[in-house]
Amino acid sequence: MSEYAEYTAFADQTRIASGPLDRVLPVLKDRFDRGESAVTLVFEDRSGRQVDFDLRGTLADVLTRVAPVAPRTGPGRPRLGVVSREISLLPRHWEWLEEQPNGASASLRRLVDQARGQGQMSNSPQHALEAASRFMSAMAGNLAGFEEATRALYRKDRARLEELIADWPEDVKIYVLGLVGDAI
């Protein structure tokens, strides 16, 4: 995955840009402003998820819209959906949850499990398989051998996967194998 910095953009199954957003977005914005009709899809390299950007306005406007929200400072509880830093800093809570399977709330357990998995999941073979599967579903759903290739991916049969995707567009094939990496 080192060859793909953070995001990769495809236009009609041809890779047009890879790298951080400040390199990928100008290419997308230029295509958008020219009114090119090719279907353009952007994927986050780490997760394989498709990302949509609002490309209206200037490039500075687009970059401002996609900039991460600054973290809140000061006292108070985190907003809903935010993993509290306290959970990831207090591993004794994990042991307590192990001892209280029926007594802990589901939301607390989910937050703790998420905090536990941060940093470990992004480099795991399972994460690589899921990222490749997401990308394949979004990009290659209509290509020949897609369903069999997905099965080969989850069976961890690299030879069969490579055989099935041999006729796919070169950029899509290279990207799938890059996402899979050493997972299979």
Residuewise pLDDT in 10s, the chain (184 residues): 334 458 999 998 899 999 998 889 999 989 988 888 788 899 998 888 888 888 888 888 888 887 766 666 666 555 545 455 444 434 555 566 666 656 556 666 666 666 655 545 556 788 888 989 999 988 878 888 899 999 999 999 999 999 999 999 999 999 999 999 888 8
Rounded distance between C-alpha atoms, residue 58 and residue 72, angstroms: 28
**What is the Cα–Cα distance from 156 to 164, expressed in whole angstroms?**
13
Against a cut of 0.75, is the pTM above it?
Answer: no
pLDDT in tens, 113-138: 666 555 455 567 888 889 899 999 88
State the Cα–Cα distance between residues 13 and 30, nearest whole angstrom. Answer: 18
Q: Collect all residues with Cβ–Cβ distance below 8 Å to 136 and sequence separation of at least 6.
A: 146, 149, 150, 153, 176
CA distance linking residue 55 with residue 92, whole number of Å: 46
**Which residues are CB-contacts of 160 (< 8 A; sequence separation ≥ 6)?**
148, 152
Q: DSSP readout, 80-119?
A: TTPPPHHHHH-THHHHHHHH-TTTS-HHHHHHHHHHHHTT
